Structure 1
Amino acid sequence: MKLLKNALPVFLFSLSLLATGCAVNENNGRELVWSDEFDYEGLPDDTKWNYDTVGNSYGWGNNELQYYTVERKENAWVDGEFLTITAIRESWNDFNFTSARLTSKEKGDWLYGRMEIRAKVPGGRGIWPAIWMLPTDWEYGGWPESGEIDIMEHVGYEPDSIYTTVHTGAFNHTQGTQVGDATYVPDCEDEFHVYAIEWNEEKIDFFIDEKKVFTFNNSKKGHDEWPFDKRFHLILNVAVGGNWGGLHGVDDSIFPAEMKIDYVRVYQ
């Protein structure tokens, strides 16, 4: 488990809780129910992560340019401290780029809680890293009816901005009605930041380094506006190009482009 700076008293307290099988987030008293500290070496832990490749053949609905690989250390690797997801410019299965898209589906699925990820994003025109959530069971129908929670998105042609967004049947980018916000984070490509949501039956609060940057409230008007009463799972990926990421083209000189993840923690 990685120590947070200036957190020795909290760490000692957490040790006593770990002895009883749980840990508590010092900020809100929630129990730590799932985490990956990336304190091992090798491929991502397959008890926690899957490789998502189902959309490779059609550009994931966004005209993306990368091919997501499976169990390939060049694209997803843990070095004992960080998970690194790397987009590479190379020929692969008729594509010109490779990358990785990891999901916790059926290995980490939650209804409500605090999802917290410490990460540093890649930069450069054409890169599109994201930390986000999709529904596990799609009980209200296909996208966007069952919802999407974008904890963090970054497009390299806007190097100082992080986006936090939700998509639902009523609010989504295909209609130009998506709901979210952009936050000025000028060093997001050079420094690690903590990206988090706190999600309950009333609202989803979005945070960057513990500063609340956006809130999406439950309108109580049904699942067209609030499908967030079902379980969701996490996704970590680095896309190349696409309708948004590639809006201004792709700079081939930026590759390899790496997103580094320090930890993923889920509290309830």
Structure 2
Amino acid sequence: MKYWMNFLGLILVTGLGACVPDEGNNPNPNPDTVTVNIPSGGATSPSTYDGMTLVWEDDFDGNSLDLANWTHETGNGQNGWGNNELQFYRSQNTSIQNGHLVITAKKEAFGGKEYTSSRIITKDKKQFRYGRIDIRAVLPKGQGLWPALWMLGSNFSTVGWPACGEIDIMEMVGGNNRENTVHGTVHWQNAGAHAQYSGNYKLSSGTLADQFHVYSIIWDDKSIKWLIDNKQYHVIDTTPAELDEFRKSFFFIFNVAVGGNWPGSPDGTTTFPQHMIVDYVRVFQPN
């Protein structure tokens, strides 16, 4: 569940991020990046599907984040990005390691907050309407961790949230034996009010931090379906007129929040640093 700030709040946050020392859009600015143990096992997905074309992918090769695709968002937002989150987002917490994107959440004081992490977006760079989206990732773990792979409507800057629509491809809340469950959700505006519809899937064993899983949606003008490792677990019919948000283009957001309304705060059981590791994101569309 991602409650969002209004557009005025976004303007204020953008200004705040620009004034923070040592911040900016440097793709990999931290020379002291800790090498992360990347699991070798887990689910994979095909690079082709019958009747579909791969229209965009980022497999995070090279030594730094590709700024033709991504922008860093920094700061703590308005009211903790609308969710009372506890972290300060920094570009320094993003790294590229062995062909993987790594977003690291740390317990460290910065910008008046006790934790740091990263948040990257494709707004104004890569946006899509419809198709199949596959994201292969390993998630962090621990009470208070809140990783998300999600999308916002490209008209967010003009209409705000929730009128722009939101598609949460994957969310997980850490702690209290919740790390075996993936959540897929949409948010929209109905009669001037916030509406949402959510489903989830629970692993039969282990957690989402143990190995790679592939988080997917199949999205067209009639429905959105959520899958994990190619198993569908949730669907919404988007044909009602009130769901017109989901017949427009969206951009990606990848982040790891710390604390907030849904997961609650870290406690003595939470260990840091924690990492979300993304192998690739792929977008396929019908031929």
TM-score (norm: length of structure 2): 0.77
Note closer, same or farther for the CA distance 1:54–1:201 as it changes in structure 2 (3 Å cut): farther
For 2:250 and 2:219, the matched residues in 1 are separated by 11
Q: Do 2:76 and 2:85's aligned partners in 1 also have CA atoms closer than 8 Å?
A: no
**CA deviations over 1:184-222 (Å, ceiling 9, x no partner):** 0243111100001111111111111111111111232x2
Q: Superposed, which structure 2 residues align to 1:206-217 within 5 Å?
A: 206-217=226-237
For the residue of structure 2 that corresponds to 1:228, the secondary structure is helix
* Corresponding residue of 1:87: 105
Contact 1:168 1:226 in 2 (8 A): no
Q: Which residue of 1 aligns with 2:218?
A: 198
1:232-266 deviation digits (Å, cap 9, x = unpaired): 001110000000021xx312542111000011111
Are 1:113 and 2:134 counterparts?
A: no
Give the alignment partner of residue 187 of structure 1, picking from 207, 231, 242: 207
- 1:89 is displaced (CA, Å) by 0.5
Give the gaps of 5 or more residues in structure 1.
Answer: 11-24
Q: Which amino acid aligns with 1:48?
A: N
Q: Quick one: percent identity of the two aligned structures?
A: 40
1:50 Cα shift? 0.6
**Where does 1:1-268 land on structure 2 (aligned, <5 Å)?**
25-42=47-64, 44-53=65-74, 56-70=77-91, 72=92, 75-138=93-156, 141-157=159-175, 158-170=178-190, 178-185=196-203, 186-220=206-240, 222=241, 224-246=242-264, 249-251=265-267, 253-268=270-285
Runs (4+) of structure 1 exceeding 4 A deviation are: 4-7
Contact (CA 8 Å) 2:76, 2:87: kept in 1 or not?
no
Amino acid corresponding to residue 72 of structure 2 in structure 1:
Y
Instruction: Classify 1:106/1:92 alpha carbon distance in 2 versus 1 (closer, same or farther; 3 Å).
Output: same
Tell me by how many angstroms 1:169 deviates.
1.1
Superposed displacement of residue 106, structure 1: 1.5
Question: Residue 136 of structure 1 aligns to which amino acid in structure 2?
Answer: S
Task: Number of aligned residue pairs: give it.
Answer: 239
Match of 1:22 in 2: none
TM-superposed deviation, 1:54: 6.3
TM-score by length of 1: 0.82
- The CA distance in 2 between the partners of 1:201 and 1:210, in whole Å, is 21
Alpha-carbon distance in 1 for matches of 2:163, 2:251: 16
Task: Report the CA distance between 1:39 and its aligned residue.
Answer: 1.9
Distance change in 2, residues 1:103/1:6 (3 Å): closer
Structure 2 residue aligned with 1:14: none
